[in-house]
């Protein structure tokens, strides 16, 4: 497929800033996609974060920017779940902010940056001093800024009761001129306008639909055998972390009700940082349901290789080609990367109609098995049908892929990013 390359005048030197660009969290993945798109438009991209696995020659490591840095974590523990803070805490916030401003200025000067792209640090207050530092640097330098917001404070229960409402109003996301605000769904766009009187544009999460998905090759051909599955087993993939909002108990219930010994639920990612209670609950559900569930987080990594036990490690994109069905029963998502991945690989999806899906994705016409917080008889019957009807699966795959190309491809983000730069620099596209 031919690609129209959009440019915005002279190439720019663009700095991405976040607490981390490391691993497979949604912010890191989307930032990497943006950088790939912007590089394809002729721009140069650089990285600053507290935890990095980006190329060293274009990266600035600032350990204090990481939200789990001991000094930062100690301050953050004092800021939420209460409505007041001590004068000492205020002083510590400002001391950290000033150190981080120095780091930001060094990053800007080292790479002679012309555009800043703060990734989520002006949206969710995981690191209040960094958000304040970022806001002050933008105010002081007047550098063109595209603020990419993935999650806002008001979307997370743990940030509702706060001792830093003054800082949240000032910097999360703030109201500076020369800043283009980008959100990932229309609900966030409406709330940002309602709460902060700020306009924004929606750039959804994207995948490179212009490139065909990878398939089964010499490396990943043995994946089923490696995790103990037979060729005729039904591999039902839950491609998410094990955290409560992912609704994995619904995937367990679906497999139980399919009542087919060939149906095996494969969970690709480890538990998150929200404690072990949810994982234990799932293990209890699995035992009660008497179904076969494979946790393969020790066999799935960012890159192919081997784990500590000497076993072969696969990427998530090695797992998808082997899946017969993808379950995505999340209660809440900012967008839905796993949904995009499933349609990219042409896999049927069982999806819970979480709010962003219902508003921004479902109206586009995707063919899915939808559930609404319950695994009903209709959901089970539809799942049986799609698993046994090869023609239906092929038709769904083709329809969904073409909709992905139309609405969630790199070309969508490329066009909208070019427009943001045009707005900032006043140059023709």
Domains and CATH numbers, the chain: 13-206+410-425 (3.40.50.2000), 223-407 (3.40.50.2000)
Q: Which of 274-278, 353-357, 362-366, 421-425 has the lowest mean pLDDT?
A: 274-278
What does the pLDDT average to over 58-79? 97
Q: Which of 62-76, 275-289, 313-327, 365-379 has the lowest mean pLDDT?
A: 275-289
Residue 261: pLDDT over 90 = yes
| pLDDT for position 275 | 63
Residue 2: pLDDT over 50 = no
| pLDDT for position 270 | 85
Task: State the pLDDT confidence band at 24, using cuts at 50, 70 and 90.
Answer: confident
Of 91, 92, 99, the C-alpha closest to 75 is 92
- For 314-339, what is each residue's pLDDT tens digit? 999 999 999 999 999 999 888 889 99
Tokens standing for 368?
């899915």
Q: Which of 2-11, 37-46, 194-203, 278-287 has the lowest mean pLDDT?
A: 2-11
Residues of the chain with pLDDT > 90, as a percent, come to 89
What does the pLDDT average to over 236-243? 93
| pLDDT for position 1 | 43
Task: State the pLDDT confidence band at 269, using cuts at 50, 70 and 90.
Answer: confident
Extract the runs of DSSP E, i.e. beta strands, from 124-195: 144-149, 179-183
| pLDDT for position 26 | 84
What does the pLDDT average to over 296-301? 92
| pLDDT for position 428 | 53
3-state secondary structure the chain: CCCCCCCCCCCCEEEEECCEECCCCHHHHHHHHHHHHHHHCCCEEEEEECEECCCHHHEEECHHHCCCCHHHHHHHCCCECCCCCCHHHHHHHHHHHHHHHHHHHHHHHHHCCCEEEEECCCCCCCCHHHHHHHHHHHHHHCCEEEEEECCCHHHCHHHCCECCHHHHHHHCCCCCCCEEEEECCHHHHHHHHHHHCCCCEECCCCECCCCCCCCCCCCCCCHHHHCCCCCCCEEEEECCCECHHHCHHHHHHHHHHHCCCCEEEEECCCECCCCCHHHHHHHHHHHHHCCEEEECHHHECCCCEECCCCCEEECHHHHHHHCCEEEECCCCCCCCHHHHHHHHCCCCEEEECCHHHHHHHHHHCCCCEEECCCCCHHHHHHHHHHHHCHHHHHHHHHHHHHHHHHHHEHHHHHHHHHHHHHHHHCCCC
What does the pLDDT average to over 222-233? 95
- For 344-366, what is each residue's pLDDT tens digit? 999 999 999 999 999 999 999 99
Most confidently modeled range among 22-26, 30-34, 242-246:
30-34
Task: State the pLDDT confidence band at 273, using cuts at 50, 70 and 90.
Answer: low
Mean pLDDT score of the chain, rounded to an integer? 94
CA quadruple 246, 250, 252, 257: dihedral, nearest 10: -160
| pLDDT for position 272 | 64
Residues of the chain with pLDDT > 70, as a percent, come to 96
What does the pLDDT average to over 368-390? 96
């Amino acid at each position: 497929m031919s690609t129209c390359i959009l440019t915005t005048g002279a190439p720019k030197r663009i700095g991405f800033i976040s607490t981390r660009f490391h691993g497979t969290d949604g912010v890191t993945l989307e930032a990497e996609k943006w950088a790939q798109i912007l590089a394809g438009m002729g721009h140069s991209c650089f990285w600053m974060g507290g935890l990095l696995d980006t190329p060293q020659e274009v990266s600035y490591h600032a350990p204090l920017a990481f939200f789990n840095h001991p000094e930062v974590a100690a301050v953050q523990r004092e800021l939420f779940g209460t409505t007041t803070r001590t004068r000492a805490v205020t002083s510590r916030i400002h001391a950290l902010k000033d150190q981080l401003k120095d780091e930001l200025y060094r990053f800007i000067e080292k790479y002679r940056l012309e555009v800043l792209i703060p990734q989520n640090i002006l949206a969710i207050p995981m690191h209040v001093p960094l958000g304040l530092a970022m806001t002050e640097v933008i105010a002081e330098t007047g550098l063109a800024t595209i603020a990419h917001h993935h999650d806002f404070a008001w979307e997370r229960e743990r940030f509702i009761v706060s001792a830093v409402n003054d800082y949240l109003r000032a910097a999360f996301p703030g109201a500076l001129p020369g800043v283009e605000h980008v959100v990932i769904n229309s609900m966030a766009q409406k709330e940002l306008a309602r709460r902060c009187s700020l306009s924004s544009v929606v750039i959804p999460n994207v995948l490179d639909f212009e490139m065909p998905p990878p398939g089964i090759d010499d490396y990943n051909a043995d994946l089923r055998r490696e995790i103990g599955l037979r060729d005729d087993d039904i591999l039902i993939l839950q491609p998410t972390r094990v955290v409560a909002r992912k609704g994995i108990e619904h995937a367990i219930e679906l497999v139980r009700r399919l009542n087919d010994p060939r149906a095996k639920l494969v969970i690709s990612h480890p538990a998150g940082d929200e404690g072990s209670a949810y994982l234990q609950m799932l293990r209890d559900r699995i035992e009660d349901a008497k179904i076969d569930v494979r946790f393969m987080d020790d066999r799935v990594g960012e890159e192919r290789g081997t784990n500590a036990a000497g076993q072969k490690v696969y990427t998530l994109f090695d797992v998808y080609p082997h899946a017969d069905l993808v379950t995505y029963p999340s209660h809440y998502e900012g967008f839905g990367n796993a949904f995009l991945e499933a349609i990219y690989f042409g896999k049927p999806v069982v999806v819970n109609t979480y709010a962003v899906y219902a508003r921004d994705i479902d109206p586009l016409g995707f063919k899915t098995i939808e559930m609404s917080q319950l695994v009903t008889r209709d959901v089970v019957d539809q799942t049986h049908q799609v698993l046994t009807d090869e023609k239906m699966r092929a038709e769904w795959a083709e329809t969904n892929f073409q909709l992905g190309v139309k609405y969630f491809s790199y070309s969508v983000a490329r066009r909208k990013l070019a427009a943001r730069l045009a707005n900032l620099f006043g140059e023709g596209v």
